[in-house]
Structure formats: structure tokens, C-alpha cells
Amino acid sequence: MSAQATIAVCVLLTLGVFALETYIVRRLRRSVTQQTGIDSDAE
């Protein structure tokens, strides 16, 4: 694998992890606000 490809894979992996974590936290927020009856868009 070339140096550029290695760098690109590392950067994309990192961005992907942050995107996935954000999705997981947003899903938790949606699940909690639905349980508690709070409108999640109100914040």
C-alpha cells in the first residue's frame, strides 16, 4: 500500500469512527427522549 493510501485509510477510519459514535449517541438520545416523552428537537 502506498504512503498516500495508508494516510487516506487512517484519516477515513478516524472520521468513520467519529461518525459512527455520533450516530450511536443520537440513537441513544432518540430512544431516551421517546421513553421519557420529551421532544428531542426541543433542545
Residues at the contact surface with another protein, assessed by CB under 8 A: 1, 3-4, 6-7, 9-11, 13-14, 17-18, 20-22, 24-25, 28-29, 31-33, 35-39, 42-43
Q: Going by C-beta distance under 8 Å and a sequence separation of 6 or more, which residues neighbour residue 34?
A: 40
Instruction: Please report how close the Cβ of residue 27 comes to another protein at its closest, in angstroms.
Output: 10
Instruction: Please report how close the Cβ of residue 37 comes to another protein at its closest, in angstroms.
Output: 8
Residue 3 · residue 10 · CB < 8 Å:
no
Q: Going by C-beta distance under 8 Å and a sequence separation of 6 or more, which residues neighbour residue 39?
A: 33
Instruction: Please report how close the Cβ of residue 11 comes to another protein at its closest, in angstroms.
Output: 6
